Structure 1
Amino acid sequence: MSTLFLSEADVEWLLDMPSAIEGVEAAFRAWADGKADNQPRRRVTAPGAMLHSMSAASEYLGFMGLKVYSTTREAARFHVWLYDITSGALVAIIEANRLGQMRTGAATGVATRMMARPDAAIVGCFGTGFQARTQLQAVCAVRKIERVEVYGRNEERRLEFAAEMTELCDVPVKAMHHPDAVAAEKDIVITATTSKIPLFDGRVLDEGTHLNVVGSNWLTKAEIDVATVCRADHIVCDSIEACQLEAGDFVAALDAGSLEWDRVCNLADVLTGEETGRATPDDITLFKSVGLALEDVAVAVRVYHRALAESAGQKLPF
């Protein structure tokens, strides 16, 4: 069997958000059942460059994979290498920038479905980039959203994002000038930025708010403050192991003694009912995602299967 190469353009039309959410949820359930394995991200550095790698295997899917990406001053380049578990054959090499955006959104979709109030309808979104777009798409896929407010540092990009997402999600999206206003009086708050410091004062959050905190996977960056962490009644991670290595959002609270890791649980365990993501309508709930290879592999398998069905991609000579 030849190795299939799938480009960013291929991924764009082969993958949609409902399929990504379904695939990621199934992967987390399999992980909880001991039928999948995930290794956190590792990084190596060179002057002006960094190589990031992460891997996962899924018995129930029959595939294992490696996500690797390079970051330099000029660009970031992402690929997933997908292997058949039985034969060990490299079945696909997939360009994975868009795939990564979709799987990150999909994990938020799964968490929001399990943790946000069923009647959640008002969203505050921090960030105006590609990750914020897929975050909002995922939330709109699992809740009947009526209104969105967005904040980003650049006013022009705020306005562009609001116009684009109003059309894409068929929900009114309003650009806001003050970050605390975006966090206050919301049912769901999304943070998907590159900020190194907290975006808003956690004291403004309403009871019952659900937060999806996804922008930082560095211990030196935090999108939320200690007040937000302290007010959260339930804190759920995509992976506690990965968050212990990368979740800068928790560092200040841990250092202050305001948070212990035994307060935190894995999303996989919420899905199986072993842990609780929300107990009452007034609970403040927090999902922290740093991004997992298991999510990449789950979504890559979906893309691969559809590519075969659609005769998409390019066969490589090996």
Structure 2
Amino acid sequence: MIQIRFLSGGDIDGLGITSTDVIAAVESVVDAHGRGHTVFEPRTHLVPDNGGVGHFNILRGHVSTLGEHGLSGVKVVGDFVPNYQKGLPSELALMTVYDPTTGVPLAIMDATLITEVRTGAMTAVGAKHLARPDSRILGHVGARGTAFANVTMLDSLFPLEEIRVTSRRPESREAFAARLREVTDTPVRAVATAEEAFDQADILVEASRLEEPTPLLRTASVKPGAFVVPYGTISAVELDLLDVMDKVVVDDWRESRSGRFGALRAHVDTGRLSEDTLYAQIGEIVSGAMPGREHPDERILFWHRGLSILDVALAHLILTRAETASAGTILDYR
């Protein structure tokens, strides 16, 4: 008989996984990617005939360094911006993981938390290697699920003196700011516009939820020494943004070139971002093959689209914790 462990969101919340655990797992798999110990294909999209309210992302990956034989996994995550009108998160995800030597499914788990924290952890890992260590002001646009992990993980790594947040809906940004004030002593200010959030910021994160391209992150807002992370599904940056960047780093160049979506999609499609103009993949930097930040005044941009190998790494962390704690529900497969 083959059995599968099912882990609900509640099961996962009860495992006590910390931000430190998540960042360590993500940095480790990014290092593995830089050393060639991962296998994955760029994400694909399923766009239903639903009036344009949302689509699904399908991510597939394998990490050879996890466990005795490695671990393979597939995640399906919905991206439905209007879900707030129904009291639902905009992103809901399901993860399945497999033994890569037999194909036997090992677990099915709610991957909503994985999706939220892995994005923030990737932002944090990028910042650790690419932002100024004395960064004081964080400007963050967007209040969706991934935003909380972005801000709190960055706050744990840098001596921030101010966090500025904004989003399209006033009630959303105010609620986000209030939630952040509950967990940090760093002053948090909700502002009305992206311009206010980004003004003279050391770290600029654009995580908006747009329905059509709109320039929220303007080139003039990026001061010398700034670290910029645009990763909204729909572009919120100006076309000439890359003209002022000293280094452009991505999570994976194949991933950057694929699909219809992404913050720098127009820059890739018009040739403004190419293999020749790209500085490095983040795995090359984390593994030591390429230097990260070399000078205090460098303007550095990090575009991460979300690699499936991060999901696999965090699924492995969750599964091993769950096995130790005998958490979840064991289901008969066949």
What is the TM-score normalised by the length of structure 1?
0.92
Match of 2:227 in 1: 210
- Trace 1:3-18 onto structure 2 (pairs within 5 A): 3-14=4-15, 15-18=17-20
Shift of 1:44: 2.9
Instruction: List structure 1 segments (4+ residues) > 4 angstroms apart after TM superposition.
Output: 70-76, 254-258
- The alignment partner of 1:309 has SS state of helix
Which of 51, 62, 72 is residue 57 of structure 1 equivalent to? 62
- Trace 1:27-66 onto structure 2 (pairs within 5 A): 27-48=29-50, 50-61=55-66, 62-66=70-74
Shift of 1:243: 1.0
The AA in structure 2 aligned to 1:43 is H
Match of 1:198 in 2: 215
Can you list the C-alpha shifts for 1:259-289, whole angstroms capped at 9, x where unaligned?
4332222110111222233221001111101
The AA in structure 1 aligned to 2:256 is C
Name the CA distance, whole Å, in 2 between partners of 1:90 and 1:155.
Answer: 44
Mean alpha-carbon deviation: is it higher for 90-99 or for 254-263?
254-263
Can you list the C-alpha shifts for 1:32-58, whole angstroms capped at 9, x where unaligned?
222111211112333227443111111
Which of 277, 282, 289 is residue 263 of structure 1 equivalent to? 277
Shift of 1:254: 4.7
Name the CA distance, whole Å, in 2 between partners of 1:261 and 1:249.
Answer: 17
Mean alpha-carbon deviation: is it higher for 84-93 or for 299-308?
84-93
Name the CA distance, whole Å, in 2 between partners of 1:171 and 1:288.
Answer: 26
- The alignment partner of 1:46 has SS state of coil
1:118 maps onto 2:133 in alignment:
yes
Match of 1:144 in 2: 159
Name the CA distance, whole Å, in 1 between partners of 2:151 and 2:173.
Answer: 14
In structure 2, the CA distance between the partners of 1:68 and 1:200, relative to structure 1 (3 Å rule), is closer
Name the CA distance, whole Å, in 2 between partners of 1:98 and 1:270.
Answer: 27
The AA in structure 2 aligned to 1:204 is S
Match of 2:255 in 1: 242
Shift of 1:214: 2.0
CA-atom RMSD in angstroms:
2.0
Shift of 1:88: 2.9
Name the CA distance, whole Å, in 2 between partners of 1:120 and 1:276.
Answer: 19
In structure 2, the CA distance between the partners of 1:182 and 1:307, relative to structure 1 (3 Å rule), is same
Match of 1:25 in 2: 27
Structure 1 gap ranges (5+): none
Match of 2:148 in 1: 133
- The alignment partner of 1:263 has SS state of coil
What is the count of residue pairs matched by the alignment?
314
Contact 2:32 2:38 in 1 (8 A): yes
Match of 2:3 in 1: 2
Name the CA distance, whole Å, in 1 between partners of 2:240 and 2:290.
Answer: 23
1:316 maps onto 2:331 in alignment:
yes
The AA in structure 1 aligned to 2:43 is R
Shift of 1:69: 3.1
Name the CA distance, whole Å, in 1 between partners of 2:166 and 2:160.
Answer: 17
1:93 maps onto 2:93 in alignment:
no
Which of 223, 230, 233 is residue 246 of structure 2 equivalent to? 233
Name the CA distance, whole Å, in 2 between partners of 1:71 and 1:215.
Answer: 11
Contact 2:74 2:96 in 1 (8 A): yes
Name the CA distance, whole Å, in 2 between partners of 1:71 and 1:209.
Answer: 29
Mean alpha-carbon deviation: is it higher for 86-95 or for 43-52?
43-52
Match of 1:67 in 2: 75
1:109 maps onto 2:124 in alignment:
yes
- The alignment partner of 1:286 has SS state of strand
- Trace 1:251-290 onto structure 2 (pairs within 5 A): 251-254=265-268, 258-264=272-278, 265-290=280-305
In structure 2, the CA distance between the partners of 1:202 and 1:7, relative to structure 1 (3 Å rule), is same
Match of 1:294 in 2: 309
